[in-house]
Structure formats: structure tokens, C-alpha cells
Chains A and B, each alone.
Chain A
Amino acid sequence: MVDILKPEEMFNSIDYTIPSDRWEAVPTDLTAGNFCYPTKKKNLEYLSLPARDEWSPADEDWKLPDNWEEIIYEGFKERLEKYRSLKVFMDICVRCGACADKCHFFIGTGDPKNMPVLRAELLRSVYRKDFTTAGKILGSIAGARKMTPAVIKEWFSYFYQCSECRRCSVYCPYGIDTAEITMMGRELLSLLGLNINWILEPVANCFRTGNHLGIQPHAFKDMIDFFCDDIEEITGIKINPSFNRKGAEVLFITPSGDVFADPGTYTMMGYLMLFEHIGLDYTLSTYASEGGNFGLFTSSDVMKRLNGKMYAEAKRLGVKWILGGECGHMWRVINQYMETMNGPTDFMEAPVSPLTGTRFDNAASTKMVHIAEFTADLIKHNKLKLDPSRNDKFKVTFHDSCNPSRAMGLLDEPRYVLNNVCNHFYDMPENTIREQTFCCGSGAGLNTEEIMDLRMRGGLPRANAVKHVHDKHGVNMLACICAIDRAALPPLMDYWVPEVDVTGIHELVGNALVMEGEIERTTDLRFEPLSEEEE
């Protein structure tokens, strides 16, 4: 890993002074620490995507295929014909600058090419040259720019410095969404075999084993069994979840990060305890064992290929509906892409909570309910016995993940759950939550070690808002509903606000849940004493 600055040095290094050279003349910095490692060839071959020999972004010559210009031109043309969003967003930006300082990567780096408007201009300048009359005739005066290998390098750098969080699109008077731009840019790069390994490796894993982490079925079961042992030790209750069981009412799918990596694992324990407590007739699948979808960060086709497993498995098992765990981009895919891509879903029924009888009309067609919606409904109907004082040592704040906020609008359900399972909850300042929330700095496949400097910079706005409530209210726990957050926020907190820990909301639910027949609890799900005095 590349050494990075100390927090104070990093903060003081942020400089919003604009360079004296025009942005077109500023070369892209592709020295070590400034790029994500490229994909290993085997992953591309496994997915039958355009593959190329091993290369490094630090290389002077990227050895692009001979017809790379044609590939990009044709690819661009095809996407303009397929996506109205791309066409409209290429044409209507007035460069008012409202988006400029809304991007966490701009705020943290001060690099003007991280202003959403310029990120889009990287693509737009080429669009003008190839697809507009003015650009063909007037060239650079009309803002057109010829495609060169240097432009490809620039695309690679800056489309992997965007986490597709959509914050800029909230402020844009035309709703221009840089996520769309970045997705198209990454698809075009992918046509040349230019991808990053931190995305493509999980994709290849997921394709084969059913999940990003490459957990094979027996290991998946082992891990869950292991959590059940821990739950028994803490609560005295033995849980036996079923796997791949036909005829279950509900299929539960969560990101594999919850099965594999702390602190997500505690959230997984929370789900298992909740389902046991309410006697939910559910099953887990080892085949559809991934809620997340790194295809979203690759291309719409790859997204579809990974997502297809959810409905296929629901159909094979004959479940009535699907319940989905806490994950950010997973819910963007479910809310905005899944049924369009892989529907219709006539083999299932509109989801109804078996405990409360609530029909989830908002999910009547996709047949997939968010766990926060499900739990909020349970709490509202007094179906859970909760002892929030078990979370009393935590002063909690909530990080709205980008996708559930700006591509769905799941804002009050998690807050309702949190307010019922803990006694000390404090929201961060309004410019930094709900639809204005800031990315963890590592979304859209950027949660990789080699760009730690960028990640800490991109996460600064989020961390700084946490620091605000930490100083003001003594907040020591950052709750979130996203597996990438649970992986990305701990190092971010460690760096900027080391006193704050990270949790999923269902870990806190698991702590507070008074289960029938449980022994007196002395520890939380992390095997730490319930209150600080006992330490």
C-alpha cells in the first residue's frame, strides 16, 4: 500500500486554486497511488468480455487495440441510440457550475476534473467532435476534442474517481446525472479491455460462485453456522436457518460482505435473530448469495447477468417473495433495474408480511422488500419486544447511503428502526444527510487499497459531518445500511474520527431484540460488555 499523508496534512493540502493551464492541457497523473489496478486477464476471459494482456496504467504506451478509435466511436454511437439520458445530458449542460463543489471527490482533492461538469466534459468534448456539426467544423472553439490515447488515460483516471453517487444530479437544474456519464465512460473503456480488478474480480466470482467474495456453497453454510453458534452463546437460543429450501415463503438475499467481513457479520447475526424471533418461513440461497451487483459498475449487460440469479432462484425455490438485506448499490439495481432487466415476476406474489398482514404495495411488481421497510413495519405493529437500553453505550448517527437515498428514497424507515432500538440517536447536519448525503468515498467499486489517498479524500465530507456530531453529542457509532459502507467506513473513521465505530442497523436490532426464551445477555453481538461500566 502506498503511504498516505496524516489526516491534518491531508486536510491542509486541499487547495481549490484553479490551475493556470486549460483543463485540456493538464496531463493525467497516473503515478502509483493514483490509479486502481487493472483487471487480471483471467477474469475478463471468464466473463467473455474483451480481454487484453496484462498492462499497467502507469505504462507510457497502453498498447490499445489497432482499431481502438473505431471501437470507441461505434460504442459511443450505440449508446447514444440506446440511452436518451446520454444524448440529452451530452447536449443540454449550460456549465452553470452548480454541481462543481457538490462532489465529494472535488471537495477532498480540489482537482477541477473532479467537478461533475468537467467529468462530463471529458466525454462531451469527444461527443462534440464525433457527433455534432459545430464540433466537426469549429473544433476546439466549439469545445470539441479529438480522441487520443491521452484522452483514454484521462477517462480511465476520472471515471474511476467517481462513485456514481448522484449527489451532483440533485443540484443540477436539468438533473444531469454524472452516474450515467461515468457508467457510459466505463462501458466504453471496457470495450477496450480496460477495467479495474477490484470490480471485475468480484464480478467473475459472483458469476461462478453466486457471490462477490467467491464463497463456495459449503463455506457459505459454514459461516452462517458459525454465526448461529455465536448467537447461541450470546442469547442461549439455537438457530437453524435453512439453505436452498424449496417451498419457503420468503427468499432472503443480502450482500455477501455481511457473511464474510466484520462488522457486516454482526448485521447478519441481527437478521438471523430477527427472523428466528418472528418465526419467518424463509430460506437462504447459496446460489443467489449476493445482494450486491458489481455489474452495475461494469456495464448494463454484466449487471443483468449477475442480477438474473435472484429471480431464477426465487422461481426454482418457489418462494412467494424476496426480502433484501442492507446494501446500497444493491437497492439501486433492485429499484431501478431489476424487474426491467429480468422480469416479469408473475411466478411470485405481491409481498405481504406474514406477521402484520401489511401488503408492500410499493414492491408489488418486483416482489422484493427492503429489510428496513420490513422491520419498520414489524416495530410499528408491536411485533418485536425491544430493549433499546442494551444499545445505551452507543451514541448513534446514521449515514444515508447514496443509492438508497438518491435512487430509491429509503430515508425514514431506517431512522424509525434506529429510534426504536437505541436511545441516543443524532442526525448529522442537513447538508450531509438524506438526499444530500455524502458518499463513503469508496463506492462504485473504488473500495480498493491502492487508492487509499483518494478514498480518504473522497470520504472527508462524510467523515467531517460525523466529526461534527461526535464533538457535539459524543456520537461514537455510525450506523449504515450498506455493505460497502461497512467495509469502507471503518478505515475512513479510523483515519478522520478514530473514536467512531461502524454498524449496520440490524446489528443494533439484534442487540435490542428480546427473544423468547433467551438467557440474560451480558454482551452485545460483538462479545463486548453491554455497558461501559462493566468493562
Chain B
Amino acid sequence: MNVNYLYSFLAVVVLGLVAYVGGGVAGLQGVFGIFIPYLAVVIFIAGFVNRVMGWASSPVPFRIPTTCGQQQSLEWIKQNKIDNPSSMFGVMTRMFLEIVLFRSLFKNSRVELVGDRVSYKWVVWLWLFAILFHYSFLAVVVRHLRFFLEPVPFFVKALEQADGILQVGLPGVFLSGVTLLAGAVLLLFRRIFISKVNYISRAADYFPLLLIIGIALTGIMMRYFTKVDVVKIKELTMGLATFHVGIPEGSLGGLFYVHLFFVCILVSYIPFSKLMHMGGVFLSPTRNLANNSRMKRHINPWNPKVKFHTYDEYEDDFREKMIEAGLPVEKE
């Protein structure tokens, strides 16, 4: 039994309690509402840049794309220009589709032994949950720009319109909040209930999911149930965005501080975790290189000088036998 999720669950609960209590205590609002958010952003930016620079500081000695289709070859053989790109445009298309549509994940299949056969079934669930989760997350983040920009840009308003298309509830239900929660919960259930995935899961896999579930839950609570004072919150967030910081008068509610604190933890956790896949996917040498190393020489900056067995050494070893067999030699 993998109990790693218990660690993560406990961690999230403790963090939530800390923020709930801290945010409620006079004098600490400044810490949770101003200091920690700034700190989180600084950690995020510095950590992210540091991590990406760290990757970039190691060279790519060899051109090792995973080719997933026909190579560029004879002109009458149709090349798969996306999955086996030989040009920059092909690579960019491949990367774009990978990042936007999770194309590799879409190919996923499941192995089953049926009778005396090994069978492969296409399975869409992981791809579907991942798409649901990531795009909901994106929509939620974009919607929250409302809190940091004045006037609110048109695309944020347009997204809100689309997001609230169901027009139910008051305030109107944003789909993305619900689907984010659903996506995260589904991904979490996968980890808990599919034994193979459970076996490979670490605390670091449960923690961000639980944290995001916490963020989504507190957000939904505030918007639909406790009906938090958004005008006051915007006062705080605009202050942060414009560096005219201040804690609005009156209480914002413990829940708000929990929500904000969770977000701060998530943001500052990113550079030190697997969530860096958001940056790493761009730097993966099996995906971001063209398969053109027979057309154009790829340079390895540390190409070592090595000792190899020269022809002369070889001939010295075998000269007599070569002459006897009638093979040409350099030195008779």
C-alpha cells in the first residue's frame, strides 16, 4: 500500500490550517496577504529561470529525436513531416501539437492478455483527464487576471462569457472551476485506484494535485457559498500588482487566506518539482530536434579525442595473413 498520499494530504491540511489561523489573526494579514505572495513570485521567477538555465547549461551532444514516422528519404516516398521532421518548421509543428494537444498521450494504449493473445486497446482517459485539467487550469488563471488588471482586458471578459455559458446559479457558475476540480480529482483517483500508477506514485505526485484541489475547493467555496467580498479582494490584489500594497479594512475571511496561501505554495513549489515539465517539455532533445543529422553535421561541443585502432596497427597485426590471402597491404 502506497501511503505517500497521506504525507501529502497532511501537508496540505497543515498548510491550510496555518493560513486559516494566520489570516484571521490581526497583524499577520500583512504576512499572508502581502509578504508571502511577493516572496512566492520571487521564488517562482528565480527558481524557474535558474532551473531552465541549469538545463540549458548542459549541451545537447547528439541529435537524438525519437522518430515517429517516415523519414525524409527518396522524393517519391512520403515523409511524415510532423512526426519525423527534417526542418525547423516541422519541429515547431511537432512541438506545438505536442504542447497544445498532448499528442503523444493521445496514442496511449493498454495491454491485456486475452486468451493466448497480447492485445492493445486504445485508451483515451489519461489524455482526456490531462486535457481537462490543464485547459481548465489555464482558463482559471486567465480569469484571475481580472484581479490584477484594471481595466479588465477584453480577452478576460470574453473568456468569462464563454466560461459562464451555462448561466446557472448566482453568481453564475464558471465551468472551468468545476472542471479543474473534476480533472484534478480524476487524476488523483487514477493515482490511488489504478494499482500500477499507485505503485509508481510519490508524495511529490500527490502533493500538487491535493494542493490544486485545495485551491479549487476554496475558490468555489468563496465564490458560491461564503460569497466573499470581491471588491475588497481586488483592492488587495491591485495593490500587489501596482506595488501600492495595503490590507483592506475589514475581514477578507480565513478562507481567502487559505486560497491565497495555497496558490503561493504552489507557485513557489513549481521550480523545485515535477511541475517544471511546463518548461522542460520545450527542452526535450527527443522532441525538439529535426531528424536531419545525415544531411547536416550536428556538433558536439565536448567531442572527445579517443584512441582508436588505426589501419596501420591492424595491418601490423595481420600483415602476413593478409598477404597470404591475397589481400592488398600498405607495407609489403
Contact = CB atoms under 8 A, between A and B. Distances in A.
B67 A409 contact: yes
Contact of B205 (A19, A95, A101, A358): A95
Interface of A: 8, 11, 14, 16-20, 22-23, 48, 80-89, 91-98, 100-102, 107, 112, 115, 117-118, 121, 132-134, 141-143, 166, 169-177, 180, 207-210, 216-218, 221-222, 243-246, 286-287, 300-301, 304-306, 308-309, 312-313, 316, 334-337, 339-341, 343-345, 358, 361-366, 368, 373, 376-377, 380, 405-413, 416, 429, 431-432, 434-436, 460-461, 464-465, 467-468
B69 A339 contact: no
A336 B63 contact: yes
Contacts of B295: 361-365
A175 B73 contact: no
Given A173-B104, A362-B86, 12 more contacts: A18-B199, A84-B55, A87-B58, A92-B280, A142-B203, A166-B66, A173-B98, A221-B325, A362-B294, A365-B294, A432-B120, A435-B69
A82 B322 contact: no
Interface string B55-70: 1111111111011111
A325 to B, nearest CB: 16
A91 B294 CA distance: 30
Contact of B116 (A11, A107, A121, A366): A11
B58 to A, nearest CB: 4
A413 B77 contact: yes
Contact of B61 (A22, A246, A340, A406): A340
A153 B274 CA distance: 27
B60 to A, nearest CB: 5
A377 B74 contact: yes
6 contacts: A218-B322, A365-B294, A380-B74, A406-B68, A412-B70, A429-B120
B283 A84 contact: yes
Interface string B256-293: 00000000000000001110110011011111000101
Nearest to A141: B203
Interface string B110-153: 11010011101000001000100000000000000000000000
B222 to A, nearest CB: 29
Contact of B66 (A22, A169, A335, A413): A169
Interface of B: 1-2, 4, 7, 51, 54-64, 66-74, 76-78, 80, 83-84, 86, 98, 102, 104-105, 107-111, 113, 116-118, 120, 126, 130, 190, 194-205, 272-274, 276-277, 280-281, 283-287, 291, 293-300, 302-304, 306-311, 314-315, 317-318, 321-322, 324-328
B313 to A, nearest CB: 9
A92 B276 contact: yes
A96 B71 contact: no
**In terms of DSSP, what is the predominant structure of the interface of chain A?**
helix
A84 B301 CA distance: 12
B56 A84 contact: yes
B199 A134 contact: no
Given A309-B309, A340-B298, A87 B55 contact: yes
B284 A97 contact: no
B200 A340 contact: no
Contacts of B273: 134
Contacts of A286: 322, 327
Contacts of B310: 312
Closest 4 CB pairs of A and B: A409-B71, A92-B280, A218-B325, A175-B286
Contacts of A22: 2
A166 B68 CA distance: 11
A85 B63 CA distance: 10
B297 A339 contact: yes
A436 B109 CA distance: 11
B277 A216 contact: no
Contact of B291 (A173, A345, A358, A409): A409
Contacts of A380: 74, 76
A468 B71 contact: no
Given A18-B198, A143-B204, A365 B297 contact: yes
A305 B327 contact: no
Contact of A339 (B202, B298, B327): B298
A413 B73 contact: yes
